[in-house]
Structure 1
Amino acid sequence: MIALDIIVLDIEVRDISILKFRDLSMTALDVIPLDILVLDIIALDIVVLNIIALDIVVLDIIALHIIVLDIITLDIVVLDIIALDIVVLNIVALDIVVLNIVALDIVVLNIIALHIVVLEIMELDIGVLDIIAQ
């Protein structure tokens, strides 16, 4: 953790946690009963993560302003997010989620009760996705 203003970490019942933070202003993590969590976050302003009861979460996030993630009871989540302004993800009860998002301004994702989701989003201005039970 390098050059942060505010960081709040509340991590419980974990097997593996790898956290790398660099040049952030605020980071808040509430992570409860996971097995593996890997975060590589560089040069953000605000990051809020609420993750409950996952097995694997991998986040590579570079040069964002605001990201909000609410993830509940997933097995695998892989997020590669580069150079965004606002990202809001609400993901509930999935098995596999893979997101590659590059160079957006606003992304809002509400994903509920899927098995496999693979999203590659590049160079949009506004993206709103509601994916439910597919």
Structure 2
Amino acid sequence: MNTFALTDASRVIAGLILLTIVGIEFGGWYLMRIVRGKEKLTDFQQRFARAGHAHAGVLVTLALVCLVLADAAGLTGALGWLARIAVPLAALLISGGFFFSSMGRGEVVRPNKLIALIWTGALSLAVGVVSIGLGLLTAAS
């Protein structure tokens, strides 16, 4: 029987990621307020709120999977840390980018300069998944 245990790094990061789910739940509660008309937002802000919430949930799930895959690939050292941190960081940057770039007073109809967080998060996501993907392809079996 082959048993598998997470590395200490992946275990700690997974624990922190799981704690962020409470924040995602709060975002779901806020979306319900929007849908019920209790929050007055522009159509643009509503779309970005939905996108931020959806990206947070999907990318947090992917981040947990990537921790297991980084361990399976045996990634260590700086590359191992980069692979383990880049996807959860992308979840924060991308979802935060949707939320923060749509904030403002008055009739907000387009993103502010914080939309750069989304593109930075996309880069972080690419770095993370490519690191893990290459690590899996080159891992000794």
> Under TM normalisation by the shorter chain, which class is it?
under 0.3
Structure number with bigger Rg: 2
Q: Which has the larger share of strand?
A: 1
Q: TM-score, normalised on structure 1?
A: 0.25
**How does the TM-score come out when normalised to structure 2?**
0.24
